[in-house]
Amino acid sequence: MDGITPDLIILQLFTGLALGAIYVLLALGMSLLFGMLTVVNFAHGAFYMLGAYIGIVLLGIGLNFWMCLLFVPLVVGSLGLLAERFLIRPLYGRGIDYPLLLTFGLSYMMVECVRIVFGTQGLPFDTPELLQGASDIGIGYFPTYRLFVIGVAAMVLVLLWLFLERTPYGLIIRAGARDPQIVRILGIDVGRVWLVVFGIGTGLAALAGLLAAPLQGASPEMGNSILAEAFVVTVVGGMGSLVGAVIAGLLVGVVVSMTSLFQPEMAQVSIFALMAVVLLIRPQGFFGRAGLMS
Amino acid sequence: MLPAEFVARCKRHRVVLSVVFLLIFPLVMPFKAIAVNILIYGLFALGFNLLFGTLGLLSFGHAALFGGGAYACGIAIVHYGAPWWLGIFAGLLGGMLIAAIIGALAIRTRGIYFAMVTLALAQCVYFVAYQASDFTGGENGLRGIDVRDINLFGLHINFVDPLNRYYVVAAFVAAALFVLSRILASPFGAVLEAVRENEARARACGYDVRATRFVAFVISGGFCGLAGALQALHLSIVPIETLYYQTSGLVVMMALLGGMGTFFGPFIGAGVFLLLENLVSLWTVHWQLVVGAAFVACVLFFPRGIWGTILLGRAK
């Protein structure tokens, strides 16, 4: 273990947090969709990928990266609204597997459409100029962009929390998650609430994709492998739990970056080993309610 | 919808019907290679269907069982010089072993969790195979599974000939169909359906639901492993993509297209899927778009799949 200093470990910890921030955004969206709509979105990876590509399109028509941060989630979230309204809505009440299967087919189509429009090869995605280089974080230099990713994720978390806990609309969403029947009896159109939630969830996935693009470029398949990782995060954190998504996301990010420091070839496997351990000890995940899933 | 009496008669003789069909099938199919693929993927979908259709557990990790069987067969032949029949046996066992490992973990979760956990564990198998390149060939896949001649108690069969190859594979598929038919008709098969229909009641009747699921998962792994082993012999290479999550998705699509929980559905689904893929790829490389759209339409409008709709009519 030559050359591994405490500083290096701390830097790697930050790298893990940046990676974890992306997982958090993905898993938050996924948990929202599951907690509120009981939809497991297999197209979540595809919406993530779409985020990166819509980012490329918007940059191409002259918007800057900062505007993209706002508009990419809006554009992709609107596509999510369409998907919910026309494809998923007819399936409510028909068993939990059907939305899952449908979104799987949808992801197939989305990936192929992106291949048709943008080609099968991946595209590069430049880090915005202001965020290039490294900043001093006290113990060493750390890529500015990764710090930025952590910051954006933290900000989104705060906004989402404020929205869900402090606004009347958030109250309706939380009530709808607990008991849609009662909410409907109180005269609220639950269908519309679900529509909005689906838009938020897919918008979050798109934001994660946009943030990940400068780190790894954009490719039609980028959503495929991250989908499994996002599943691990939601399973470890407990499905439907937003706090769980945040903690598990960061934990998985740190575990990946730490194993890639000490045992690079085990990095991908470590995520799944972590999940196996959690499943053995606590099948419902950190913050999952037992019996919720049956 | 077919008349009930006719359906009942078909059901009684389903294995005989399948065997007759398997014998005639290559003679009407213009492309023998696709016929073999349909058999192999049909068998794969059959194993998947036992879990989803009969037991109601949706697994998104069946690539690991199929690929595990393929790798077990390939490794036995390439690294240990096993004869072909031992390779197939290794595939069968390999599929069951991986199913036992994944099953032991995934069975702890229920409902929708199950799909996610099986997917994640299957990805784990993929990465392990990717890293263990000395054994599995890593990124390049496992090459050199060279079986040209099948020696059956002194009777030599030329495995290179497409028609012979088809009938060798068909023999295994027929055997698998027979075994599956026996399983479904057995008391155990009835327990599987009971667990699917009402888990609480099945438990109250004294059945160990978790053990039932585990055993069904392992049996499913046996069918999928056998399919994987046949695939390894057929292609004489195991590509690493066999283990990727796309393969799991493929089998889900096939089973759903054909008709979940029906006896012939998986083969019809595999056939329609592969023929569609072949036809569409004649005029566009983007066949995935068409197949994906067909699948989405199937989920929306024909959730019982092709065979299920023929048997029972459209769902509400």
> What confidence tens digit (pLDDT) does each residue in B263-313 have?
888 999 999 899 888 888 888 888 889 888 989 998 898 888 888 888 777
Highest CATH level, class, for A6-120+130-281 = mainly alpha
Nearest chain A Cα distance for residue B29, angstroms: 28
Which helix or strand (DSSP H or E) is residue B142 part of? strand B142-143
In this predicted structure, the answer to whether residue A17 has a pLDDT above a threshold of 80 is yes
Task: Give the whole-number percent of chain A exceeding pLDDT 70.
Answer: 97
What pLDDT score was predicted for residue A293?
39
What pLDDT score was predicted for residue B100?
96
Tokens 């990713």, residue? A149
- Closest partner residue to B120 (CB to CB) among A106, A228, A293 is A228
- Closest partner residue to B117 (CB to CB) among A109, A235, A273 is A235
A260-293 pLDDT, tens per residue?
A: 888 888 888 888 888 888 887 887 888 876 544 3
Decide: B239 and B257 in contact? Cβ < 8 Å.
no
Decide: A69 and A207 in contact? Cβ < 8 Å.
yes
**Least confident piece of the model among A63-72, A176-185, B115-124, B145-154:** B145-154
Q: How far is CA A14 from CA A35, A141, A212, A253, in A?
A: 30, 11, 15, 9
Kindly give, in sequence order, each residue whose CB lies less than 8 Å from that of residue A13, ignoring residues fewer than 6 positions away: A254, A257, A258
**Residue A178 or A156, more confident:** A156
Report which residue type is found at B248.
S
Coil/strand/helix, residue B261: coil
In this predicted structure, the answer to whether residue B109 has a pLDDT above a threshold of 70 is yes
Kindly give, in sequence order, each residue whose CB lies less than 8 Å from that of residue A36, ignoring residues fewer than 6 positions away: A173, A176, A177, A193, A194, A197
What pLDDT score was predicted for residue A28?
92
A107, closest residue in chain B (CA to CA): B292
Q: How far is CA B301 from CA A105, A212, B305, in A?
A: 14, 36, 9
Nearest chain B Cα distance for residue A231, angstroms: 6
What pLDDT score was predicted for residue A291?
43
- How are the residues of chain B apportioned to helix, strand and coil, as percentages rounded to the nearest 5? 75, 5, 20
The answer to whether A280 contacts chain B (CB < 8 Å) is yes
Please judge whether B286 and A228 are an interchain contact, meaning their C-beta atoms are less than 8 angstroms apart.
no
Distance CA B244, CA B251 (A): 12
* Residue at B140 is within a domain: yes
**Residue A231 or B158, more confident:** A231
| Mean pLDDT within A221-228 | 88
Nearest chain A Cα distance for residue B259, angstroms: 14
Which helix or strand (DSSP H or E) is residue A208 part of? helix A190-216
Please judge whether A280 and B131 are an interchain contact, meaning their C-beta atoms are less than 8 angstroms apart.
no
Structure tokens at B300: 């929306």
* Residue at B250 is within a domain: no
User: For residue A264, how far is the Cα from the chain centroid?
Assistant: 24
In this predicted structure, the answer to whether residue B88 has a pLDDT above a threshold of 50 is yes
| Mean pLDDT within A20-40 | 89
The answer to whether A90 contacts chain B (CB < 8 Å) is yes
Q: Where are the alpha helices (DSSP H) in B29-145?
A: 32-49, 62-80, 84-106, 112-131, 133-136
What pLDDT score was predicted for residue B134?
86
Please judge whether B299 and A101 are an interchain contact, meaning their C-beta atoms are less than 8 angstroms apart.
yes
Q: Which residues in chain A touch residue B256, judged by CB atoms under 8 angstroms apart?
A: 101
In this predicted structure, the answer to whether residue A92 has a pLDDT above a threshold of 50 is yes
Q: How far is CA B193 from CA A210, B185, B200, in A?
A: 45, 11, 13
What pLDDT score was predicted for residue A2?
58
Q: What are phi and psi of A55, to 5 degrees?
A: -55, -45
What pLDDT score was predicted for residue B251?
93
In this predicted structure, the answer to whether residue B140 has a pLDDT above a threshold of 90 is no
Decide: B90 and B229 in contact? Cβ < 8 Å.
yes
In this predicted structure, the answer to whether residue A25 has a pLDDT above a threshold of 70 is yes
A133-158 pLDDT, tens per residue?
A: 888 777 778 889 999 999 999 999 99
Mean pLDDT across chain A, nearest whole number?
Answer: 88
Please judge whether A283 and B245 are an interchain contact, meaning their C-beta atoms are less than 8 angstroms apart.
no
Mean pLDDT across chain B, nearest whole number?
Answer: 87
In this predicted structure, the answer to whether residue A203 has a pLDDT above a threshold of 90 is yes
The number of domains in chain B is: 1
* Residue at B255 is within a domain: no
Decide: A18 and A137 in contact? Cβ < 8 Å.
no
Q: Which residues in chain B touch residue A94, judged by CB atoms under 8 angstroms apart?
A: 303
What pLDDT score was predicted for residue B316?
45
Q: Which residues in chain B touch residue A108, judged by CB atoms under 8 angstroms apart?
A: 249, 288-289, 291-292, 295
pTM value is 0.88
Decide: A212 and A22 in contact? Cβ < 8 Å.
yes
What pLDDT score was predicted for residue A294?
34
Residues of the domain holding B113: 14-245
Residues of chain A numbered 31-70 and touching chain B (CB < 8 Å): 34, 38, 40
Please judge whether A225 and B123 are an interchain contact, meaning their C-beta atoms are less than 8 angstroms apart.
yes
Q: Which residues in chain A touch residue B123, judged by CB atoms under 8 angstroms apart?
A: 225, 228, 272
Kindly give, in sequence order, each residue whose CB lies less than 8 Å from that of residue B246, ignoring residues fewer than 6 positions away: A224, B63
- Could you tell me how many CB contacts below 8 A there are between chain A and chain B? 122
What pLDDT score was predicted for residue A289?
64
**Least confident piece of the model among A178-182, A222-226, B153-157:** B153-157
Please judge whether A98 and B299 are an interchain contact, meaning their C-beta atoms are less than 8 angstroms apart.
yes
* Residue at B265 is within a domain: no
Domain boundaries, chain A: 6-120+130-281
- Closest partner residue to B110 (CB to CB) among A104, A275, A294 is A294
Kindly give, in sequence order, each residue whose CB lies less than 8 Å from that of residue A146, ignoring residues fewer than 6 positions away: A14, A15, A18, A215
* pLDDT band at residue B315 under the 50/70/90 scheme: low
